[in-house]
Amino acid sequence: MADPVVVEKTRQEVLGDLGGTPYACSALYPLSGGYANFVFRGVLKDTTNGPVEVAIKHGKDHAASDPNMAVPTYRCVCRPITVRRGRLLTRL
């Protein structure tokens, strides 16, 4: 299980990183699971059709569940994926 202090620090970093993007969130909640990555449920700020929830996977240079275990971040190079209303949307 990830250290709650590390999860909160990471949550704040992710909120800040997304702040000036179309993926800026009004709320970000940690999800359980994810040995190597931090996983959050976010609520997008700027939507015209009501709240839109997204899944956010965030990688660091260490495992989410064990900060002493080094994990290379190049493994995270992938397309951003959002999940909206049961449909999987991929943006290139």
* pLDDT single digits (tens) 78-89: 544 444 444 444
- The yes-or-no verdict on residue 43 having pLDDT over 60 is yes
Give the residue-averaged pLDDT of 14-33: 91
Question: How many C-beta neighbours within 10 Å does residue 52 have?
Answer: 17
71 in Cβ contact with 59 (< 8 Å): yes
- The yes-or-no verdict on residue 26 having pLDDT over 60 is yes
Position 40 scores a pLDDT of: 93
- Quote the CA–CA distance of 33 and 61 in Å, as a whole number: 18
Position 15 scores a pLDDT of: 95
Give the residue-averaged pLDDT of 65-73: 84
